[in-house]
Amino acid sequence: MYDKLEERKEAMLMYHVHHLSKAKICRRLKRSRPWLDRWLERYDPGDIAGSLSDHQTGPKHGHSLWSNDIRQQVIDMRKTRSQEPQWRYAFIGAQAIHLELKALDSPEVPPVRTIHHWFVAEGLVNHPEKQSKEEKGSKSIPLPVADVVNRVQQLDLKGPLYLEGGPTKYYLAVIRDRYSHRCAIDVLDCREAQGIVDFLVASWHWFGLPDYLQLDNALEFRGSNRYPRSFGKVVRVAVDLGIELVFNPPGEPWRNGGIEWFNGFLDKRLLQVKFEDVQAFRAEARVCQEQCNQTHRLAEHDGLTPNEIAAHAELRFPPKDYSRHQSKKLPLDRGFVSFVRLVRKSGRITLGAGDRFMVDPDLAYQYVLARVDLSQKLVRISLEEQEVKAYDFSADTVGQWAMDELQEIPIDDEIVKVLVEV
């Protein structure tokens, strides 16, 4: 995908060389008419790159109303956060410093742009290469809305990771609340389900239980490919604690955008440290967790930290003596498990390991929610909260569907006719 400058050059080529109409150029480039008129006006054949490049919009001089004392304080805060160990996981950008000054009730609180200008003038800002944003579809997707603390938590497992000179694989387990950005981090020595649920239950005792846990389709989360409807221990423990798991569409990691961003943050901070042993790795992961929760001030929450946001929320926790996650077989007789899936051209969706269901070819390329009711052994498939199909979800029906048959399934005292498939 070309960058902005190449796009503007192409627009000038279409207009001045190929003599295409403005309307046609806008359609081809998916741009507005004011955008094209602006760059046609700025275009200079003698300085093509200069005239079509972005103009600097930031202030050229520091705001004269701010004292030298506050300017020096801001610079010192940036340097301290960049160099001192106790700030190694803190945000160091202009917005973070601005929010910190507000939280400290500073008599002078310069705006973010002014602080950023001071950083640039002091040579404290590195300008990373601009990356083009991947274009995503605008289709609606039925993911839960994170409107309060612990409404939606996201889980991810990062690895394998290796210690300096060691062959042993380790994995970084991370939970993050989508609303407050509060996190829990630990180092696991394997990616087996038991280690994951141990981490989850231990974290939930202080972190609080979510209503929804959003995650990808890794086998350690979902369960066996051989028995796709039996589900694994992560699912069983979650539903036992009243949590609904929501599995993202396969191959779309950006649906876990918050935790994917946080993984990038951990790459740059935590995983740049060289650890001699796993104990040191775990200890540093705990320091990272605590600093992120205590120091990351969030603009969308008026500068509060994740811990401050959670302190004012009503949280629910597992029973203090909860140990059912240690049992070998938890029943699947209650609760819900949801799958967000893109309907294929054929009209089908796949929940896991070839467990396919016909939805409707007319709904191809739309996202649907397949919600499994474990107590009734049913999967209800809905589009924009409207149920379109329902299927039996008994464990012994996998692979026994027949495309040319109709089965009648009683649901809530109604008879719903559904197509079934092999």
Same domain, 177 and 32: no
**In 55-192, alpha helices (H):** 68-83, 94-103, 112-121
pLDDT at 134: 42
Indicate the range of 54-58, 129-133, 176-180 predicted with least confidence.
Answer: 129-133
Q: How many CB atoms lie within 10 A of CB 65?
A: 8
Q: In the beta sheet, which residues pair with residue 367? A: 342
Same domain, 170 and 252: yes
**Tokens, residue 392:** 């039996």
pTM: 0.73
Query: What total of structural domains would you count in the chain?
Result: 4
Rounded-to-integer distance, Cα 318 and Cα 100, Å: 34
Question: With contact defined as beta carbons under 8 Å apart, do 225 and 315 qualify?
Answer: no
C-alpha 214 chain-centroid distance: 9
pLDDT in tens, 311-344: 999 999 999 999 999 998 899 899 999 999 999 9
One-character DSSP codes across 89-116? TS--SHHHHHHHHHHTT-S----HHHHH
Rounded-to-integer distance, Cα 272 and Cα 1, Å: 30
pLDDT in tens, 21-40: 999 999 889 899 899 999 99
pLDDT more than 70, % of the chain: 88
Amino acid identity, position 268: K
Rounded-to-integer distance, Cα 338 and Cα 369, Å: 7
Same domain, 104 and 41: no
Nearest to residue 380, comparing CAs of 344, 351, 345, 422? 351
In a domain, 250, yes or no: yes
Mean pLDDT over the full length of the chain: 86
In a domain, 324, yes or no: no
Mean pLDDT of 156-176: 90
Question: With contact defined as beta carbons under 8 Å apart, do 355 and 398 qualify?
Answer: yes
Nearest to residue 235, comparing CAs of 143, 350, 317, 325? 325
pLDDT at 88: 85
Same domain, 78 and 45: no
Query: Has residue 84 got a pLDDT over 70?
Result: yes
In a domain, 129, yes or no: no
Nearest to residue 149, comparing CAs of 342, 313, 391, 319? 313
39: left (phi over 0), alpha (psi -120 to 50) or beta: alpha
Answer with the residue of higher pLDDT: 308 or 164: 308
Same domain, 240 and 343: no
C-alpha 287 chain-centroid distance: 22
- In order of 22, 152, 153, 300, the CA distances from 259 in angstroms are 42, 12, 9, 17
Rounded-to-integer distance, Cα 17 and Cα 339, Å: 51
Is 270 in a helix, a strand, or coil?
helix
Question: With contact defined as beta carbons under 8 Å apart, do 198 and 325 qualify?
Answer: yes
pLDDT in tens, 405-422: 334 344 443 333 333 332
Rounded-to-integer distance, Cα 248 and Cα 244, Å: 13
pLDDT at 403: 32
In a domain, 111, yes or no: yes
Same domain, 19 and 100: no
Mean pLDDT of 57-78: 76
Query: Has residue 44 got a pLDDT over 90?
Result: no
In a domain, 323, yes or no: no
**CA 299, 301, 303, 306 torsion: positive or negative?**
negative
Mean pLDDT of 205-233: 92
Last residue of some domain: 277, 311, 345? 311
pLDDT in tens, 67-76: 889 889 989 9
In a domain, 128, yes or no: no
Q: In the beta sheet, which residues pair with residue 298? A: 304
Same domain, 259 and 289: yes
Same domain, 298 and 342: no
Same domain, 224 and 340: no
pLDDT in tens, 111-149: 999 999 898 888 888 765 444 444 444 578 999 999 999
In a domain, 57, yes or no: no
Query: Has residue 107 got a pLDDT over 80?
Result: yes
Rounded-to-integer distance, Cα 318 and Cα 378, Å: 27
CATH number reported for the structural domain that contains residue 302 in this entry: 3.30.420.10
pLDDT at 85: 79
Rounded-to-integer distance, Cα 117 and Cα 110, Å: 11
pLDDT at 156: 94
In a domain, 319, yes or no: no
pLDDT at 64: 57
Mean pLDDT of 304-317: 95
Same domain, 200 and 298: yes
Same domain, 84 and 12: no
326 secondary structure, DSSP code: G
pLDDT in tens, 352-408: 888 899 999 999 999 999 999 999 999 999 999 899 999 999 876 664 333 323 343
Q: Which domain holds residue 266?
A: 152-311
Same domain, 271 and 167: yes
